[in-house]
C-alpha cells in the first residue's frame, strides 16, 4: 500500500458518524426501511444469489472514501468510477436492485433518502433474508459527488491477501481483528470465480504446488471444478451452504475447506485462528460480532461535500 493511500486512510473518521442514528427518516420518509426490504424480498425471489453481492456493497463502498455510495456512480467522460475497479469488476452485480429500491423511495419520498443509506439498509436486509441476524441500522448519510477507480484499486484487498495484510488494512479503519474475522463471515453466502483460486490451487506463493492448507479431498474437488484450462469465470460456492447466512464458512475454514486464500489464512494465522474456532462453534457469537462489525464499518466517513442523489448512478445537476 502506497504512503499516499496510507495518508488518505488516516483522514477517514468515525467521529462525525455520531450524526447518524436509527430512525433517521421517521419524520420525513417513515416507510423507507419497509420499502427497501420489500424490494430486497422481490430480488431474493427472482435471484437468491443477488443478495450475496448486495450484502458486499457496504464493504466495497465504505472502505473507499467512506460510506457515501461512490460505488454506485457510473463512469463519465471525466471520471473513472469504482464499478470497474479490480475488486468490483466481474465480482459485484445486482446494481439494478439498488436502482429499484431508490426509484421506489423517490416515488414515496422524493429527494429524501440517500443512496448511501440504501446500501446500508440493503446490505442488512441481504443478511436477514438469507438466515442471518437482523439489526437496527444508523442512517443519515449523504451521497458523494464523485468516485475514484484508483482509490478502490489502492485500498480494496485481493483474494490472495494474507492475514497480516488484512489485519493491518482493517486496523487503518479502526476495525479490530475480531471485526476482520467476523466481517469475513460475509463469505457465508455467495460464490467466487475460479480465477480467484487458481494461484492457490496450482502455484501457491510461486511454488508450483497447491496451498498445503487445503483439505486433500476438497482440493481434489476444486481441481475438477477449476482445472488449469477452465473458463476462469466459472463460479464455486464460498462455503458449503452458499445461499444461507450461517457459521458454515468458519466450520469450513477449520476443516481446511476455505475457498479463497484471504479466507483460509484466517485459520492458519495464529492471531485469528481462535476467533475462527469460536465462530465455528457458536453461531450466535458470530452473529453478534458480525452486527457489531457492520455497524462500525457503517460509521466510516470522509469529510467532503455531499448530496442526496435522485438517481444513484449519477450526481444531481
CATH of domain 31-156+299-307: 1.10.520.10
* Matching fold, domains 31-156+299-307 and 163-297: no
Residue 229, classified by CB atoms within 10 Å of its CB into exposed (0-12), middle (13-18) or buried (19+), is exposed
For the question of residue 11 being annotated catalytic, the response is no
Share of the chain above pLDDT 70, in %: 94
> Any known ligand binding at 61?
yes
Average pLDDT for the chain: 93
pLDDT score for 230: 87
- Residue 70, annotated as binding a ligand: yes
With 90 as the cut, is the pLDDT of residue 238 above it? Answer: yes
Determine the pLDDT at residue 76. 95
Residue 11 has pLDDT above 70, yes or no: no
246 is in an annotated binding site: yes
Q: May I ask the CATH class of domain 163-297?
A: mainly alpha
The answer to whether residue 205 scores a pLDDT higher than 60 is yes
286 CA to centre of own chain: 17
Is 241 annotated as ligand-binding? Answer: no
Using 50, 70 and 90 to split pLDDT, how confident is the model at 1?
very low
201: confidence class by pLDDT, cuts 50, 70, 90? very high
292 or 4: whose pLDDT is higher? 292
The pLDDT, as a whole number, for residue 274 is 98
Look at residue 17 in the predicted model and tell me its pLDDT.
Answer: 47
> Where does the pLDDT of residue 78 fall: very low under 50, low under 70, confident under 90, or very high at 90 and above?
very high
Catalytic residue, candidates 60, 102, 124, 309: 60
The pTM for the full model equals 0.93
Beta strand pairing call for 235-237 and 301-302: unpaired
Assess contact for 196 and 264: CB atoms under 8 A: no
Residue 133: pLDDT over 80: yes
Query: For residues 240 and 258, what is the distance between their CA atoms, to the nearest angstrom?
Result: 9
Domain range annotation of the chain? 31-156+299-307, 163-297
% helix, strand, coil for the chain, step of 5: 50, 5, 40
Amino acid at each position: 500500500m502506497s504512503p499516499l493511500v496510507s495518508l488518505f486512510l488516516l483522514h477517514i473518521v468515525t467521529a462525525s458518524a455520531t450524526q447518524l442514528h436509527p430512525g433517521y427518516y421517521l419524520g420525513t420518509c417513515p416507510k423507507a426501511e419497509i420499502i427497501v426490504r420489500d424490494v430486497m424480498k422481490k430480488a431474493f425471489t427472482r435471484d437468491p444469489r443477488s443478495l450475496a453481492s448486495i450484502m458486499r456493497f457496504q464493504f466495497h463502498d465504505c472502505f473507499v472514501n467512506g460510506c457515501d455510495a461512490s460505488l454506485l456512480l457510473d463512469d463519465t467522460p471525466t471520471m473513472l468510477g469504482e464499478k470497474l475497479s479490480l475488486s468490483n469488476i466481474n465480482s459485484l452485480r445486482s446494481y439494478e436492485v439498488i436502482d429499484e429500491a431508490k426509484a421506489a423511495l423517490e416515488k414515496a419520498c422524493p429527494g429524501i433518502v440517500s443512496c448511501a443509506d440504501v446500501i446500508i439498509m440493503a446490505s442488512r436486509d441481504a443478511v436477514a433474508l438469507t438466515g442471518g441476524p437482523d439489526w437496527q441500522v444508523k442512517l443519515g448519510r449523504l451521497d458523494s459527488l464523485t468516485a475514484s477507480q484508483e482509490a478502490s484499486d489502492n485500498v480494496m484487498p485481493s483474494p490472495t491477501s494474507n492475514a497480516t495484510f488484512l489485519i493491518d488494512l482493517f486496523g487503518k479503519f479502526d476495525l479490530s481483528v475480531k471485526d476482520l474475522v467476523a466481517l469475513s463471515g460475509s463469505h457465508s453466502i455467495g460464490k467466487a470465480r475460479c480465477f480467484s483460486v487458481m494461484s492457490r490451487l496450482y502455484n501457491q506463493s510461486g511454488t508450483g504446488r497447491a496451498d498445503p492448507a487445503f483439505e486433500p479431498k476438497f482440493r481434489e474437488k476444486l481441481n475438477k471444478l477449476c482445472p488449469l484450462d477452465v473458463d476462469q469465470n466459472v463460479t464455486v460456492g464460498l462455503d458449503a451452504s452458499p445461499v444461507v447466512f450461517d457459521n458454515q464458512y468458519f466450520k469450513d475454514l477449520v476443516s481446511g475447506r476455505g475457498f479463497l486464500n484471504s479466507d483460509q489464512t484466517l485459520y492458519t494465522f495464529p492471531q485469528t485462528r481462535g476467533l475462527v474456532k469460536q465462530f465455528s462453534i457458536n453461531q450466535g457469537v458470530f452473529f453478534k460480532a458480525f452486527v457489531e462489525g457492520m455497524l462500525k464499518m457503517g460509521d466510516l466517513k470522509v469529510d467532503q461535500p455531499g448530496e442526496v442523489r435522485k438517481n444513484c448512478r449519477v450526481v444531481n445537476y
